[in-house]
Structure 1
Amino acid sequence: MAADRSRLEVWGDPIAHSLSPALHSAAYAQLQLPWEYGRRRVDDIGFAGELSGLDDSFRGLSCTMPLKGVAHAASVWRDARAEATGAVNTLLLTSDGPRGWNTDVGGIVRALADAGITSVDRARIVGAGATATSALVAVAELGARDVEVLARRPDAVAPLTALGERLGLVVTAAPLSDADRHPVTVTFATLPGSAAVDTDIADTLAASGGLLFDVVYGHGQTDLTRAWGRVGARTLDGTGMLLQQAVLQIRVFATGDVDTPLPAEHDVIDVMRRALVGG
């Protein structure tokens, strides 16, 4: 990789709300890396053209919705988590082409560990999009063998059911109104922050839902977080996942390896956490 590759960006649509520039810039300053990190509004139609137009000053990209599938397709190499999910959110730009990682899975695992959860028995996932796929792989890594996926269209769960079979998981699909009332360790909410959930349904989910991991951030309380609040159960929003997946991205950008810790990584995480609160 060229030594002068010092530019990085987060791409997606929408992108103005992204906290990634604050997180990455704080980390680079702590690590004394002379890199700059910006943002660019790019949709899936324009992705290939924007990618081919980058010059050698670019080191890497963070890819958010709706680009994780096209970033996967553009990668000349992918890590195991990207291969499992069909989603890439981290591109390291090399002379041989983009190398792709999915750091969302590791971000989920690390955010749950911060909340004291290092193993999962049963899990529930609300929604069936790209983040749901990463959540499924994450709970498989944490030992789950039984996952219920609730979606407005149960047929949308078919790819998750197939992935579950490859991972050794039993994935069952149901509409939101017909959730299994068996207790679960964690419920992942992967719906948009503005998505409406009927109060009775939300309360039913909260009664047996364990920890709520609502992956959205910046939208205030959702219908599900309010329901968990009514029963006094614990909730996490998406900022913990955002922080931890960014740490793994920076490992990739700095070392080329997601498993190689950063120098004094605890200090890096501390300054990133402060930037997140400030952002």
Structure 2
Amino acid sequence: MADARLAVLGSPIDHSQSPALHVAAYRTLGLDWEYGRFEVAEAELASFLDAHDDWAGFSLTMPLKTELVRLADERGWAVDDTARLTGGANTWVNGPVPGVYNTDVHGIEQALREAGANVSRCAVLGSGATAKSAVLAAARLGAQHIEIFARSQHKARTLADFAQSLGARTGTAALGQLQLDDWSTVLSTLPSQVLTEDSLRLPAHCTTAVFEAGYAPGGFSLATAAAERGGTAIPGQRMLIHQAIRQIELFGIARAALTGTFDAETVTSLEKTMTKEAQAL
């Protein structure tokens, strides 16, 4: 039996690349851990965690991130500062007092930083938990203006208020009003089927960097469209890799398999291993 059992939870979950990336990282680190996946709806999260309270930890994707923080408050679990600020968490770590963490913000920051993205004028597409993490990541990297484009204008205004509280100028607009070349960076947290080429006014040329959190195959890719017009595509796998490395640190420290956070050499080694694995999927 493995030293630790871990998994990713969400709905839908079949497309998740997390199991392959985590297992590749564990192999590199010499950890005898297993990592699977479970289809879990929001209303099922509490009972699932109760039934798996002997597991070492879980990664969580949509639609569970906000519910995890609510559960943490209800049950007295520890909540890290980033999860508290965003109201969403993607990591549950078992222990005498379980802890919940948001590593998405770190993942987005690293993906933007390594791409050399200019975040001075950012458009964020979407208004859910990942969009809120994207807003915080952009603000931490120095975004001066963060515009929220979403289907729900009520949710968009709430997210814009959050951006303003972080010191950014902000506003809201419908998705169809996005002008790609108005923005230095676009952060899309939308499912791949939401946008279509016909629903947007795409320029003949742009220098915009486009990050897409989603990576499920099929559908229109705004990042690819931007790259075809001279911009920069930042795939969601980059965020996934960076946030997963931070999760592995949290799992390892809690189980005393690690004495602290990874050094730069280890991070680089894990990035290379997980990137190679992602390219093979």
TM over 0.5: yes
| Secondary structure in structure 2 of the residue aligned to 1:235 | strand
1:91 and 2:88 are equivalent in the alignment: no
Contact 2:206 2:229 in 1 (8 A): no
Letter matched to residue 269 of structure 1 = E
Q: 1:112 maps to which residue? A: 112
Moved more, 14-23 or 163-172: 163-172
Structure 1: distance between partners of 2:12 and 2:215:
14
Q: 2:193 maps to which residue? A: 194
- TM-score normalized by structure 1? 0.89
Number of corresponding residues:
271
Moved more, 214-223 or 27-36: 214-223
Structure 1: distance between partners of 2:273 and 2:180:
41
Structure 2: distance between partners of 1:5 and 1:74:
27
Q: 2:78 maps to which residue? A: 77
Moved more, 190-199 or 219-228: 219-228
Contact 1:124 1:209 in 2 (8 A): no
Deviations 1:153-201 (A, max 9, x none): 3222122122123212222001123347873221011211111335362
Letter matched to residue 96 of structure 2 = S
Deviations 1:225-273 (A, max 9, x none): 454245222112211111111111111111249x822572221221111
Deviations 1:16-43 (A, max 9, x none): 1111011111111111111111111111
Structure 2: distance between partners of 1:65 and 1:228:
26
RMSD over aligned CA atoms reads 2.3
Question: What are structure 2's unaligned runs of at least 5 residues?
Answer: none
Q: 2:217 maps to which residue? A: 219
1:16 and 2:11 are equivalent in the alignment: no
Contact 1:187 1:209 in 2 (8 A): no
Structure 1: distance between partners of 2:27 and 2:180:
48
1:221/1:16 CA distance change after superposition, 3 Å: closer
Letter matched to residue 211 of structure 2 = F
Structure 1: distance between partners of 2:132 and 2:13:
22
Moved more, 152-161 or 236-245: 152-161
Match of 1:53 among 48, 51, 54: 51
1:127 and 2:126 are equivalent in the alignment: yes
Structure 2: distance between partners of 1:28 and 1:156:
38
Moved more, 223-232 or 73-82: 223-232
Contact 1:160 1:171 in 2 (8 A): no
1:223/1:9 CA distance change after superposition, 3 Å: closer
- TM-score normalized by structure 2? 0.88
1:220 offset after TM fit, Å?
Answer: 4.0
Structure 1: distance between partners of 2:200 and 2:133:
24
Where does 1:155-174 land on structure 2 (aligned, <5 Å)? 155-174=154-173
Contact 1:126 1:190 in 2 (8 A): yes
1:224/1:73 CA distance change after superposition, 3 Å: same
Deviations 1:33-68 (A, max 9, x none): 111111111111111001011143x11100011110
Letter matched to residue 107 of structure 1 = G
1:70 offset after TM fit, Å?
Answer: 1.2
Question: What are structure 1's unaligned runs of at least 5 residues?
Answer: none
Match of 1:234 among 232, 243, 265: 232
Letter matched to residue 8 of structure 1 = L
| Secondary structure in structure 2 of the residue aligned to 1:125 | strand
1:209 offset after TM fit, Å?
Answer: 6.8
Structure 2: distance between partners of 1:134 and 1:101:
12
Structure 2: distance between partners of 1:236 and 1:112:
7
1:63 and 2:79 are equivalent in the alignment: no
Which 4+ residue blocks in structure 1 deviate beyond 6 angstroms?
A: none
Structure 2: distance between partners of 1:148 and 1:55:
41
Structure 1: distance between partners of 2:243 and 2:93:
15
